């Protein structure tokens, strides 16, 4: 959420941000409702003040003066009865509109309509050139007997899967390696709730715009998270942190659930777009200094890059264009990993700076040494998400005989397995 004072003072900048992010939001309506709320609030406060003043004077009055004052108080009370519902209605509309305003993207973010407009920043390793006909990850997983989709679909429906055998070991090896790397950097590991209240979803900016993509447990009024970012950031909601505590660095493991409501049949084959997956997410909560935020952004991004480099997976870092950025993001980088079966780099990680957007919604503040209280900045970045990351691991490390070599960085977690052999 943006500061309404910032919106009032910079309407053109905010409108340009709405346009760049290709979002639909009537800022003029918000500004009109804001003016209406302020006017009604002034009226209500004045009426209350007049009523209280007269109520105090009535015991001192007599006769006609007292009768007149009593009548005036009644009239003021009737005025409140009329004005207060108008104020409540206007305030409710104001809050609804405020939740729709996007954070303007940073000046360096390129304007664009899709990931085709992302700007490459750097690359690591060249895509592998095969001297045999490579298989896609689905063929490999089935022949290695590490995947069962038909039975998962029978149990749970489309876009579900069962990992098994060395596939399970490979995923947990990835997460153990990732957690060890982040813990060595001082990040606090967390296993977080996967069911959260609506306040956490609104506070982190996933509602109201992303509500259709979320699984809702109606009986308990709880939502399944699509990322551990939600509980990790909301962990400090309604708190005031001391400056010496910051930055807060968390890495959270969780299962994640997404309806993929807007995917319209895209990427239905294999591991790329599923209803359920597992992830380690990085979170930073820091002081609201843009320079500090940028340092934290670079830290989270470099952590993810170091993990990918250790896995020896060809990838590129790209600066996300405006339309690829979410509502709250000011700056976003993506790590796109080479997937041979897709013949292109595809997103496996995203690193986002949100400034005060989430902290304002969640009331996460910090107190400086001088005693001043301000809203924090928040950032997040994927450290590892599976099974999507298994696509490039399986495809880039496959061998001509159908086996898959385990990346060297993961072997200490694989009980001595260096190669996964075909079973059928």
Tell me the CATH number at 55. 1.10.287.40
Cβ-contact 233, 380 below 8 angstroms:
yes
Q: Is 411 a catalytic residue?
A: no
**Residue 295 included in any domain:** yes
Q: Is 273 a catalytic residue?
A: yes
**Residue 110 included in any domain:** no
The per-residue pLDDT for 75 is: 82
Q: How does pLDDT run across 115-126, given as a tens digit for each residue? A: 899 999 999 999
Measured CA to CA in angstroms, residue 318 lies from 79, 215, 299 at distances of 58, 30, 16
- The pTM assigned to this predicted structure is 0.92
Catalytic entry in 51, 258, 360, 361: 258
Which of 73, 98, 123 is where one domain is finished? 98
Q: Are residues 283 and 403 in the same domain?
A: yes
Catalytic entry in 273, 294, 316, 367: 273
Cross-strand pairs, 286: 377
Length of the chain equals 424
Q: Give 100's DSSP letter.
A: T
Q: How many domains does the chain have?
A: 2
Q: Are residues 267 and 316 in the same domain?
A: yes
Q: Are residues 258 and 380 in the same domain?
A: yes
Q: Is 365 a catalytic residue?
A: no
Which of 98, 131, 153 is where one domain is finished? 98
Catalytic entry in 305, 347, 356, 395: 347
**Residue 105 included in any domain:** no
Q: Are residues 360 and 411 in the same domain?
A: yes
Catalytic entry in 254, 365, 388, 395: 388
Q: Are residues 304 and 162 in the same domain?
A: yes
Instruction: Print the domain residue range for 9.
Output: 4-98
Q: Is 388 a catalytic residue?
A: yes
The per-residue pLDDT for 351 is: 98
Distance of CA 161 to the CA centre of its chain: 24
Residue 383 and residue 231: Cα distance in Å, rounded? 16
How far the first Cα of the chain sits from its last, in Å, is 54
The per-residue pLDDT for 64 is: 83
Three-state secondary-structure class, residue 258: coil
Q: Are residues 61 and 138 in the same domain?
A: no
**Residues of the chain predicted below pLDDT 70:** 261-268, 424
**Residue 107 included in any domain:** no
Q: Give 220's DSSP letter.
A: G
Q: Are residues 234 and 355 in the same domain?
A: yes
Q: Are residues 355 and 233 in the same domain?
A: yes
**Residue 56 included in any domain:** yes
The per-residue pLDDT for 263 is: 55
Q: Is 306 a catalytic residue?
A: no
Q: Are residues 64 and 148 in the same domain?
A: no
């Amino acid at each position: 959420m943006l500061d309404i004072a910032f919106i009032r003072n910079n309407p053109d900048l905010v409108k340009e941000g709405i346009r760049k992010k290709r979002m639909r939001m009537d800022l003029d309506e918000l500004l009109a409702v804001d003016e209406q709320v302020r006017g009604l609030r002034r009226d209500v406060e004045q009426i209350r003040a007049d009523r209280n003043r007269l109520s105090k004077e009535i015991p001192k009055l007599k006769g006609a003066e007292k009768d007149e004052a009593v009548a005036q108080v009644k009239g003021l009370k009737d005025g409140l009865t009329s004005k207060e519902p108008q104020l409540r209605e206007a305030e409710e509309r104001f809050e609804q509109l405020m939740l729709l305003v996007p954070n303007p993207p940073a000046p360096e973010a390129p304007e664009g309509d899709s990931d085709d407009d992302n700007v490459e920043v750097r690359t690591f390793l060249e895509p592998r050139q095969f001297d045999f006909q490579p298989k896609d990850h689905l063929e490999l997983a089935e022949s290695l007997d590490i995947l069962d989709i038909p039975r998962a679909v029978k149990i749970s429906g489309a876009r579900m899967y069962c990992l098994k055998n060395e596939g399970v070991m490979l995923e947990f090896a990835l997460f153990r390696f990732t957690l060890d790397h982040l813990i060595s950097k001082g990040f606090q590991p967390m296993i977080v709730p996967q069911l959260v209240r609506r306040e956490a979803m609104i506070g982190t900016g996933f509602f109201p715009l992303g509500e259709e993509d979320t699984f809702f447990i109606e009986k308990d009024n709880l939502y399944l998270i699509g990322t551990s970012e939600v509980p990790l950031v909301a962990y400090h909601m309604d708190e005031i942190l001391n400056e010496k505590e910051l930055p807060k660095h968390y890495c959270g493991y969780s299962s994640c659930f997404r309806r993929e409501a807007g995917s319209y049949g895209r990427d239905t084959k294999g591991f790329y777009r599923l209803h359920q997956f597992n992830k380690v997410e990085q979170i930073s909560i820091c002081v609201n200094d843009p320079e500090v935020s940028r340092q934290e952004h670079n830290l989270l991004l470099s952590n993810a890059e170091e993990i990918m480099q250790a896995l020896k997976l060809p990838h590129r870092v790209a600066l996300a264009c405006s339309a690829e950025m979410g509502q709250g993001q000011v700056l976003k980088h993506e790590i796109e990993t080479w997937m041979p079966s897709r013949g292109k780099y595809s997103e496996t990680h995203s690193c986002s700076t949100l400034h005060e957007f989430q902290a304002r919604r969640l009331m996460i503040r910090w107190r400086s040494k001088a005693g001043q209280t301000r809203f924090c900045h928040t950032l997040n970045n994927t450290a590892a998400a599976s099974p999507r990351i298994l696509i490039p691991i399986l495809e880039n490390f496959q061998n001509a005989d159908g086996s898959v070599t385990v990346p060297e960085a993961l072997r200490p977690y694989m009980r001595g397995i260096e190669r996964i052999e075909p079973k059928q």
